[in-house]
Amino acid sequence: MIPAPIAVALDAPDLETAARWASLVTPHVSTVKIGLELYLRYGPDVIASVRGASGVQVFLDLKLHDIPNTVAGAARSVARLKPAILTVHAAGGAAMVRAAVEAAPAARIAAVTVLTSLSEADLERAGISGPPDDAVRRLAVLAVGAGAQALVCSPREVAAVRAEVGPDITLITPGVRPAGADTQDQARVATPERALADGADLLVIGRPITGSADPGAAAAGIAAALRKASPTAGRDM
């Protein structure tokens, strides 16, 4: 069975929990995602712990955002850990995105457009007016022009971004919630089936899986629903 194109966000308070979640979900999903909570506590060791013997893809979600020289150094530092995907903020600018791409050539650099936790009202308060789609599309084009091979956007914008950047860019969508699930701190959300149908390549899902009493069963359930909705899903991720 092809693992589903899901990156499970291992936002755990400790390494043991993260490794347990990883071993429960890896039969069902293509990727596990390590974010700031684990990486800032444990550093590079966390990668080997969650990768385990499964060979699952590791997505390192550090959302680098600094001047180009500093981001190049940071990307070079983590490149030796061989993450499949490494995130930077597109808002850092074209030179910064390019610096990450050049410093970590073996990783797929994914540029975060507009965080999925931000609503149109939040953006307005930060001085960015108009629908989130506009800012997302602008940042997507900037990042791809600078060499980013992947983009992070919400499932609400994924169809518009796909139309803008074409078929060769990997589109990654957090802000995914099964129908009826609590949206928590996410503002721009859609269901896994919708995200996939609209053109996402990899769905980031954290708490709907890891907050369940049985993360393995939760991952298997979402993977089965995706397979039913789109039988060829996951061939590339």
Ligand X SMILES: O=c1ccn([C@@H]2O[C@H](COP(=O)(O)O)[C@@H](O)[C@H]2O)c(=O)[nH]1
Asked if residue 108 belongs to a known ligand binding site, the reply is no
Residue 112 or 200 having the CB closest to ligand X: 112
Residue 112 or 158 having the CB closest to ligand X: 112
The pair of structure tokens assigned to 140 is: 């997507």
The pair of structure tokens assigned to 17 is: 């929990």
Question: In the complex, which residue's CB is closest to ligand X?
Answer: 206
How far apart CA 19 and CA 220 sit, in angstroms, is: 17
Contact residues: ligand X, CB under 6 A: 9, 11, 35, 61, 112, 115-116, 152, 174-175, 184, 186, 204-207
Could you say which of 61, 133, 198, 201 is catalytic?
61
How far apart CA 61 and CA 34 sit, in angstroms, is: 6
Could you say which of 14, 45, 66, 201 is catalytic?
66
Asked if residue 61 belongs to a known ligand binding site, the reply is yes
Residue 82 designated active-site: no
Asked if residue 67 belongs to a known ligand binding site, the reply is yes
Asked if residue 82 belongs to a known ligand binding site, the reply is no
Residue 4 or 9 having the CB closest to ligand X: 9
Residue 122 designated active-site: no
Compute the least distance from the CB of residue 165 to ligand X, in Å. Answer: 17
Burial of 51 (0-12, 13-18, 19+ CB in 10 A): buried
CA 176 to chain centre: 11
CB-CB neighbours of 168 under 10 Å: 7
Compute the least distance from the CB of residue 113 to ligand X, in Å. Answer: 8
Nearest CA among 207, 185, 191 for reference residue 117: 185
Catalytic residue ranges: 61, 63, 66
